[in-house]
Structure 1
Amino acid sequence: MSSIEVNQFTYRHGDVELSGYMAQPSRYPRAGILIVPTIAGPTQLMFDRARWLASLGYSAMVCDIYGKGVIEDIREARQLADALRADAEYYRERFRCALAELRIRSRLANNRIAAIGYCMGGEIVLEMARSGEDIALVVSFHGLLATPLPAKRGMIKSRILVCHGRADPFVPPKQVRTFMDEMDIAGADYHVHIYSGVLHGFTDPASNAKALEAVRYNMSADRQSKAAMLSMFDEIFETGKTPDQY
């Protein structure tokens, strides 16, 4: 296994300064992966996942959401998120800036780029796909599926993987059906993996310590969703590897 290089830096979206965290293998990467965090912003868990992906040969960048680091107060996080979502095009543009930064720093072309997101980050990567961003794959883990700007026919260029907990109260069955209908109308190439009895936040072991009853870690769903993501990476980026590291 090659060594891992870690770099922290700043980048900009207009007049907003954002922080980035990049983990890369010392050898040429298989692909570049943008990691979009939860509504709380870039936590240590996201940095750990970037290093894990780098250990598998990918250049992984954790992007920023608000330019304020980690938001500990969920009420403040929701206020910041609502303000950002208020302008859908501005919302999408914030993460185009992150993708541009990943492309520059990873030295990879569009067809060697994927974007993965958790919770609000899952919503964001799906917005990237809906806007026609030229990237190979987006992966949403317990992400929100609704949008104010549904995809138009032929607009989506990315393949899509959605990993969803069947018991997630933030994304009820009607929202899942509406999303799948939207993808069908758009002609998207998408997979939806649904884990029975699983709540929101199933990839984060710290979920069990949170007061919200809707948020719980699930070891099996975490493992299976990671395996599904790595399998898609292998298929799209032709790495020839199996998802045997978790």
Structure 2
Amino acid sequence: MTTPMTASMTTISTRTVEYPADGLTMIGHLALPAGVDRRPAVLVGPEGMGLSDVERRRADALAELGYVALAFDLHGGRYLSDPGEMLARCLPLLADPDRMREIGHAALDVLRAEPRTDPDRIAAVGYGTGGAVGLELGRGGVGLRAIGTVNGLATGRPGEAARIRCPVWAGVGSEDPIMPPAQRDAFSAEMQAAGVDWRLAVYGGALHAFHHPPVDHPVVPGVGYHPRHARRAWRDIVDLLAECLPVTEDPGV
């Protein structure tokens, strides 16, 4: 089911998409670039609170760059502004790779079904829980072109990272208490042992969810916006996509 929405710019179009996953009716945000041709596509995963205008704007920005982009849902159309409720849902989810993969595959099916999507050229980028979902798709063997994750450096089940067949970029704040040095080290060791083409950017002085502008509700401790690093992390994601998923491929490559 789709519901028309007003595009953020005249050169793109957007709409909501409803689809089942995790026993819920998910409500995603699909952004399409100008034109009618097939384009590379990007899944955009939200922080643990759920899909918000932050991720919708990211999808729109990717459409403006020429990508089909789907900002997917985690909580059946809900945004969990209460930290306790968010943790009660996200912590069991993060501990269950199969559930994360189910949520990711459901969104991926929607993206692949869009006629503008080139189904062989898809990347996944995400923040926090949404980034962890993208990594689990890779560990599950999905043929993605790139995976990017900010704050979501969750490690997987032993040996499964060897199924990741694309470059992985990860970003994290140096002062993030939710993704401390021990977690960064575990993630790095997992990627290295699996032979993944991986990169880790540590943004000095940044807390958890440093990319996310301030919100008007309580947050878990250790969260804080860092506008300079937010801009840098976005540029790093765009560069990852330009490298691994160019909008116009060179036929000689």
Structure-2 change in CA distance of 1:219 and 1:106 (3 Å):
farther
Q: Is 1:104 aligned to residue 97 of structure 2?
A: no
2: CA distance, partners of 1:202 / 1:165? 7
Of residues 196, 216, 232 in structure 2, which corresponds to 1:188? 196
Matches within 5 A, 1:35-114: 35-105=44-114, 107-114=116-123
Question: Between Structure 1 and Structure 2, how many residues are aligned?
Answer: 240
Contact in 1 for aligned 2:123/2:245 (Cα 8 Å): no
Q: Distance in 2 between matches of 1:83 and 1:152?
A: 20
Alpha-carbon shift at residue 225 of structure 1 (Å): 1.1
Which residue number in structure 2 is paired with residue 202 of structure 1? 210
Deviation, structure 1 residue 177 = 1.0
Matching residue's letter, 2:151 = H
Contact 2:41 2:68 in 1 (8 A): yes
**Aligned counterpart, 1:232:** 240
Given that 2:32 and 2:69 are in contact with CA atoms closer than 8 Å, whether structure 1 keeps it comes out as yes
TM (normalized to structure 1)?
0.88
Question: 1:98 and 1:58 mapped to 2: Cα distance?
Answer: 16
Map Cα deviations across residues 74-93 of structure 1 (whole Å, 9 max, x no partner). 11111111343453213211
Please say if 1:117 is aligned against 2:131: no
Q: CA RMSD in A?
A: 2.3
**Structure 1, unaligned runs of 5 or more:** 241-246
Are residue 19 (structure 1) and residue 27 (structure 2) matched?
Answer: yes
Deviates more, 1:173-182 or 1:152-161: 152-161
Residues 1:142 and 1:90: Cα distance change in structure 2 (over 3 Å): closer
Classify 1:59/1:161 alpha carbon distance in 2 versus 1 (closer, same or farther; 3 Å).
Answer: same
Residues of 1 paired with 2:79 and 2:160: CA distance?
A: 34
CA distance in structure 1 between the partners assigned to 2:205 and 2:244 by the alignment: 30
Distance 2:103 2:211 in 1: 25
CA offset digits 1:177-235 (Å, max 9, x no partner):
11111111111111111111111111112169755451111122111111111111111
**Structure 2: where are the runs of 5+ without partners?**
1-8, 249-253
2:145 maps to 1:136: yes
Contact 1:42 1:64 in 2 (8 A): yes
Higher RCO (CA-CA < 8 Å; seq separation 6+) = 2
Q: Structure 1 CA distance, aligned partners of 2:42 and 2:225?
A: 23
8 Å CA contact retained: 1:208, 1:217:
no
User: Percent identity of the aligned residues?
Assistant: 29
CA distance in 2, matches of 1:125, 1:202: 19
- Give how far 1:54 is off: 1.1
| Structure 1 residue 108: Cα displacement | 2.8
Q: Distance in 2 between matches of 1:205 and 1:51?
A: 17
> Which structure 1 residue ranges, 4+ long, deviate > 6 Å from structure 2?
none
Cα pair distance change 1:178/1:208, threshold 3 Å: farther
Alignment partner, residue 186 of structure 2 = 178
